[in-house]
Amino acid sequence: MHKVYHRIEQIAGNVIVVTAEDVIYGELARVESDFGASLAQVIRLENSRVYLQVFAGGRGISTDAKVRFLGNTMQIPFSENLMGRVFTGSGVPRDNGPVITENLIPIGGPSVNPAKRIIPRNMVRTGIPMIDVFNTLVESQKLPIFSVAGEPYNELLARIALQAEVDIIILGGMGLKHDDYLYFRDYLEENGALSRSVLYVHTAADPTVECMLVPDIALATAEQFALQDKRVLVLLTDMTNFADAMKEVAITMEQIPSNRGYPGDLYSQLASRYEKAVDFEGSGSITILAVTTMPGDDVTHPVPDNTGYITEGQFYLKNGRIEPFGSLSRLKQQVNGTTRDDHRTIMDTMIQLYASYKETLEKQSMGFRMSGWDSKLLKYGERFENEMMALSVNIPLEEALDRGWAILADCFEPQETGIASKLTDAFWPKSV
């Protein structure tokens, strides 16, 4: 039987301190007081002083609350029965279903040995030209959507999840509005995907500490499925809330902040989650698609900035479109060399011309005379935005490439595009 401790020496934010013996670093404890019970985790040992982070927060904890150490670290149940279920950030059912207690697995496990990783090689088709043609999504990639509040990022996330060919979808919601949580659940249900999904949802009204657990729980579950040969897509929204929860906890712990209040280990913390994306040789895979909202549309804000250094590119969602500038899929060259011979050329050329179009727009807005070349660019830019960039466009890759050539042929002469002669000879649409 585990000893119960009664004397709490300090309560600051979500962290309480008790004097206890023989406690393990990382151990879980159960804290009970008149206002309810919560799990807590040991985050620091100092002689016999034990610092505990209370998942439900410090509010309502009395100085004589009962603290009982459980002798194990954080674990969550894992089984096929998780499918179609919704849980909170600490793994408690949110959907009135039965509690699952079988087959407990630890969370936040060790890193995959780099020597066991393989080069990703499977494209994930989404039907969105701005992704398929210009920044191809690849199985086992980790990719965030950078966006500002108000953009339809959750809708985009849900659409990609549905259209992507994966076996299992795991949603990790952090600080979600309750409406958004219901949106995801209903959307998946309506489209018949809920039965292959597991949802871990922390809403904005739930305790902060639970927000920090969501990615670990979601990814630990994903890892188990992937080891059972499943292709898993993990959706994490919104990682900025996750970082803000870490900031909140770090400040209450009196850690020295590094940049805009965020803790110095923000990079490592984000990386240890994102790096769970993997393609297991001879087994399943984990692809991570996350949302990172940028306060004030500022990509140099610490959260998007650190994220960008960790992830394999990013989709930049602005004005309801995926912007070609700033968006990048670092793994695209692993797959876009084998789709079709003209894929890379169309990708590069159309973006270069679109960049020139942007310059022309600038000149135009300053009232300069438009040269013949400028007029061509203006025509091109408009077609590109309407027929390629708009999120409403939903066509397979090959059709999108053909459309690319059609737009180019409609606006330019072959040599004006800078495309090597070999390709224009083969692909340039013959005039009728």
Partner 1 sequence: MNLGKIVGVNGNLLTVAFENPVIQNEVGFAKLGDIQLKAEVIRIRDRNAELQVFEDTTGLRIGDQVEFSGALLSVELGPGLLTQVFDGLQNPLPALAEECGFFLQRGKYLDPLPRDAKWAFTPIAKAGDTVVAGDAVGQVPEGIFDHKIMVPFRLHGRLTVKSVEAAGEYTVEQVVAVVTDDKGRDHDVKLMQVWPVKMPIKCYAERLRPTEPLATSQRIVDTFFPVARGGTYCIPGPFGAGKTVLQQITSRHADVDIVIIAACGERAGEVVETLREFPELTDPKTGKSLMERTVIICNTSSMPVAAREASVYTGVTLAEYYRQMGLDVLLLADSTSRWAQALREMSGRLEEIPGEEAFPAYLESVIAAFYERGGVVRLNNGETGSVTIGGTVSPAGGNFEEPVTQGTLKVVGAFHGLSRARSDARRYPAIDPLESWSKYKSVVDEEELAQARRFLREGSEVGQMMKVVGEEGTSIEDFMGYLKGEYLDDVYLQQNAFNDVDAATPVDRQKHVFGFIARLLKTKLKFEDKDAARGFFQKLTQATRDWNQIAFDSDEFKKQEEQLDHQIAEVADYA
List the interface residues with partner 1, window 15-54 (CB under 8 A): 21-26, 44-48
What's the closest the beta carbon of residue 325 comes to partner 1, in angstroms?
Answer: 5
Burial class (CB in 10 A: 0-12, 13-18, 19+), 421: exposed
CA distances for 31 relative to 227, 278, 284, 409, angstroms? 35, 37, 39, 70
What's the closest the beta carbon of residue 336 comes to partner 1, in angstroms?
Answer: 10
User: Which conformational region is residue 71 in: left (phi greater than 0), alpha (psi within -120 to 50 degrees), or beta?
Assistant: left
Helix (H, G, I), strand (E, B) or coil at 147: strand
What's the closest the beta carbon of residue 327 comes to partner 1, in angstroms?
Answer: 9
84 counts as binding partner 1 under rule CB under 8 A: no
- Pairwise CA distance, residues 257 & 275, whole Å: 24
CA distances for 24 relative to 52, 220, 224, 266, angstroms? 12, 22, 26, 25
* Nearer of residues 120 and 207 to partner 1, judged by Cβ: 120
Applying the rule CB under 8 A, the residues between 357 and 416 that interact with partner 1 are 359, 362-363, 366, 368-369, 371-373, 415-416
Token pair for 150: 């108000």
* Nearer of residues 28 and 31 to partner 1, judged by Cβ: 28
Q: Give residue for tokens 């979500």.
A: 14
* Nearer of residues 116 and 430 to partner 1, judged by Cβ: 116
What's the closest the beta carbon of residue 23 comes to partner 1, in angstroms?
Answer: 7
Asked if residues 325 and 129 have their Cβ atoms less than 8 Å apart, the reply is no
Among 113, 195, 319, 392, binds partner 1 (CB under 8 A): 113
What's the closest the beta carbon of residue 78 comes to partner 1, in angstroms?
Answer: 16
426 counts as binding partner 1 under rule CB under 8 A: no
Here's the x/- map for partner 1, 245-264, by CB under 8 A: it reads as ----------xxxxx---xx
Applying the rule CB under 8 A, the residues between 161 and 190 that interact with partner 1 are none
What's the closest the beta carbon of residue 116 comes to partner 1, in angstroms?
Answer: 5
* Nearer of residues 126 and 140 to partner 1, judged by Cβ: 140
Applying the rule CB under 8 A, the residues between 317 and 356 that interact with partner 1 are 325-326, 328, 330-331, 333, 337, 344, 348, 351-352, 355
**Which amino acid would we find at residue 52?**
L
* Nearer of residues 33 and 73 to partner 1, judged by Cβ: 73
Token pair for 165: 């060919």
- Pairwise CA distance, residues 202 & 21, whole Å: 33
Among 63, 103, 375, 421, binds partner 1 (CB under 8 A): 421
- List all residues 6 or more positions away from 228 whose beta carbon is below 8 Å from its beta carbon: 283, 284
* Nearer of residues 110 and 150 to partner 1, judged by Cβ: 110
Here's the x/- map for partner 1, 197-226, by CB under 8 A: it reads as ------------------------------
* Nearer of residues 1 and 420 to partner 1, judged by Cβ: 420
Name 73's bridge partners.
Answer: 27
Which one, of 166, 211, 160, lies nearest residue 391 by Cα? 160
What's the closest the beta carbon of residue 313 comes to partner 1, in angstroms?
Answer: 7
Asked if residues 19 and 48 have their Cβ atoms less than 8 Å apart, the reply is yes
Instruction: Say which DSSP state 368 is in.
Output: P
Stretch that binds partner 1, among 151-159, 166-174, 198-206, 269-277 (CB under 8 A): 269-277
What's the closest the beta carbon of residue 311 comes to partner 1, in angstroms?
Answer: 8
Applying the rule CB under 8 A, the residues between 120 and 149 that interact with partner 1 are 120, 140
Helix (H, G, I), strand (E, B) or coil at 4: strand
Asked if residues 307 and 289 have their Cβ atoms less than 8 Å apart, the reply is no
Among 32, 167, 265, 402, binds partner 1 (CB under 8 A): 265
Asked if residues 320 and 157 have their Cβ atoms less than 8 Å apart, the reply is no
418 counts as binding partner 1 under rule CB under 8 A: yes
Applying the rule CB under 8 A, the residues between 279 and 298 that interact with partner 1 are 280
What's the closest the beta carbon of residue 312 comes to partner 1, in angstroms?
Answer: 6
CA distances for 10 relative to 2, 210, 227, 247, angstroms? 22, 21, 43, 20
Which one, of 391, 418, 389, lies nearest residue 404 by Cα? 389
Helix (H, G, I), strand (E, B) or coil at 40: strand
314 counts as binding partner 1 under rule CB under 8 A: yes
